Amino acid sequence: MTRSKPGEKLYYSISEVSRITGLKPYVLRYWEKEFELLRPKKNRGGNRTYTQKDIEIINRISYLRKKEKLTIEGTRKKLMMKKQGEGKKVVASSARTRTLIGQIRKDVLDLLEDFS
């Protein structure tokens, strides 16, 4: 079982993930339909609950789409490839970095909201 770090949430709403990743909620919903790896659970109320792993997958997709300029199909294939060595490590590292930056962005926005 993976334990979360102190202060790290287990589940995030679609609006929180949107703020963390800088992507609109409709993009996140669209990507759920296009990428098998991205399947956030839904709570009793039917709201999506994203995990840290979901956010890393979203950031990986975003990296492949924006930085490598891959199509949806190309991104899907790249995500499904078995261990691709160094390229996979770079993408995963970039995804973790983007996740951390996104969380910091969300925290700053939340603080600004609290003080305004």
* CA–CA distance, 55 with 114 (Å, rounded to integer): 24
pTM (global) more than 0.75: no
* pLDDT tens, residue by residue, 20-79: 999 999 999 999 999 988 999 999 999 999 999 999 999 999 999 999 999 999 998 888
Three-class SS of 69-104: CCCHHHHHHHHHCCCCCHHHHHHHHHHHHHHHHHHH
Q: C-alpha distances in angstroms, 51 versus 10, 67, 73?
A: 6, 24, 24
Task: Specify the CATH class of 14-103 in words.
Answer: mainly alpha
* pLDDT tens, residue by residue, 74-111: 998 888 874 455 456 666 677 777 788 888 888 888 88
* pLDDT tens, residue by residue, 4-20: 554 578 999 999 999 99
Helix (H) or strand (E) holding 41: strand 41-42
